[in-house]
């Protein structure tokens, strides 16, 4: 279903711990994105990458970090600096042009205990 996967599906974290969310795609897409979804707030962009070894901050990058060492992979680390990390995290990918659909992964639900 779209060729983009995320793991794990559910993740529990204690306060003060860093956690890394996985995102892999086999669609040969250049661009990858991380979104955070909270109830009633839609999708907010955390980070995005258009090419290997390069990435840009989105609207809510504070407390998060990413890497793009391979075209297929775009892991997101939620650091202890993120004050309210409990949310649903969605990864997406797309070809790099104006009219291309973003394909979403199934999401990871992170809960801080």
Partner 1 sequence: GENVEQHPSTLSVQEGDSAVIKCTYSDSASNYFPWYKQELGKRPQLIIDIRSNVGEKKDQRIAVTLNKTAKHFSLHITETQPEDSAVYFCAATTPSNDYKLSFGAGTTVTVRA
CA distance linking residue 81 with residue 13, whole number of Å: 13
The CA-atom distances, in angstroms, between 38 and each of 30, 60, 86 are 27, 13, 9
Site for partner 1 contains 93 (CB under 8 A):
no
Smallest gap from residue 111 Cβ to partner 1 (A):
14
> What is the footprint of partner 1 within residues 48-67 (CB under 8 A)?
48, 50, 56, 58
Is residue 94 within 8 A of residue 83, CB to CB? The reply is no
The burial class, CB within 10 Å (0-12 / 13-18 / 19+), for 13 is: middle
Binding mask 5-44 for partner 1 (x = CB under 8 A): --------------------------x-x------xxxxx
Is the CB of 84 or the CB of 98 nearer to partner 1?
98
Site for partner 1 contains 98 (CB under 8 A):
yes
């Amino acid at each position: 279903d779209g060729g983009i996967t995320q793991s794990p599906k559910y993740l529990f974290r204690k306060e003060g711990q860093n956690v890394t969310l996985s995102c892999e795609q086999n669609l040969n897409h250049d661009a990858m994105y991380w979104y955070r979804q909270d109830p009633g707030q839609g999708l907010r962009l955390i980070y995005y990458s258009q090419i290997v070894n390069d990435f840009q901050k989105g609207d809510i990058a504070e407390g998060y970090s990413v890497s793009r060492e391979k075209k297929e992979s775009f892991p997101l680390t939620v650091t202890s600096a993120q004050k309210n990390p409990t949310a649903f995290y969605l990864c997406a990918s797309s070809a790099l042009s104006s009219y291309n659909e973003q394909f979403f992964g199934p999401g990871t639900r992170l809960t801080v205990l």
